[in-house]
Amino acid sequence: MSIRMPSSSQTRQTLLDLERTNERLAKNQTRIATGSRLTGPGDDPAAAASILNFGNSIQANTQYIQQAGTAGSFLSASEDAVAAAIQDNMRLQELSVNGGPDSVTEIDSIRAHLVSLANTQVQGKYLFAGTQTLGTAAHPLPFDDPTPTTGPIAYWGDTGSINLNVNSTTAVSTNLPGSTVFFGSGGQGSSTDIFQAITDLRTGLSTNNAALVQTASTNLSTVLDSLNQAQAELGGRQAGLLNLQDTLSGFNVTLKGMQDTLQATDYPTAATEYSQDQTIQSVTLSALAKVNKTNLFDFLG
């Protein structure tokens, strides 16, 4: 009679199989607990790479959305300032028709308000200074009124444009230079300069110079057209940014959905595999326990 004893190689193989079963159990347990079917890149290298790419795209889009929001805040504040300047301009036009020498005080007040609007700040930056948003030691304000009521307004900004990237291929200008907004296309001292029109109107009313008042009134109409154009441009940029934010947000929703599809645990499959491996584990442990109890006397006995 021959006695067959389990070989050490068979035992080693059984132990290896048990180790693999335990690994599968651990992975499925993690998948069920976390909701992610990938416990490591090696589970599905292609899916892991796609998930990483989607995540990078979502992160980049989110940054662009934030940058578009920042740009929008500057443009919105600029539009509000221009809208206020339009209201001042309309009041000046009324005074050019109905005003007299006693209107000088109100005109001076409007002039001071317009200078204040021209020096509007948001987040510590001047909106109408071109690229000189922080001012300089010599000229901390972009607009200065060295001789109030009568003299020209000094502009210490520049005509530069501040561009902000809002996606990988598009940059949006977040500003209009103050010289463009308040001096107009003709430049300082021209018929498109609102401060020159104010000076002319004040002088004309205080000296009963009807011709100068009429010139100021005509120029204020030209200035109004220029301000309306500036407001429309600022509003158009904001609308474009809002559309871009909506588009990028939509992209992110789509990318997140694709990412979740690749990453999400298939709960029925994971639960079934987990149950099957528990059974395999139990059977294997039982078989190993019997092998460990077997000795020569069991066969002689």
Any domain includes 271: no
Pairing outcome for strands 121-122 and 125-126? antiparallel
User: What CATH code is carried by the domain that includes residue 97?
Assistant: 1.20.1330.10
Any domain includes 183: yes
Any domain includes 16: no
Any domain includes 39: no
Closest C-alpha among 87, 92, 79 to residue 195 = 92
Query: What is the longest distance spanned by two Cα atoms in the chain?
Result: 138
Provide the residue-wise pLDDT of the chain in tens; the chain has 301 residues: 444 555 677 667 777 666 777 766 666 566 666 666 666 767 778 888 888 899 999 999 999 999 999 999 999 999 999 999 999 999 999 999 999 999 999 999 999 999 999 999 999 999 999 999 999 999 999 999 998 888 899 999 999 999 988 878 888 899 999 999 999 999 999 999 999 999 999 999 999 999 999 999 999 999 999 999 999 999 999 999 999 999 999 999 999 998 888 876 655 765 676 577 677 777 677 766 666 665 545 544 4
Any domain includes 19: no
Domain count of the fold of the chain: 1
**Whole-number Å distance between alpha carbons of 175 and 180:** 10
- Structural domain for 202, as ranges: 50-259
**Whole-number Å distance between alpha carbons of 34 and 14:** 30
Any domain includes 20: no
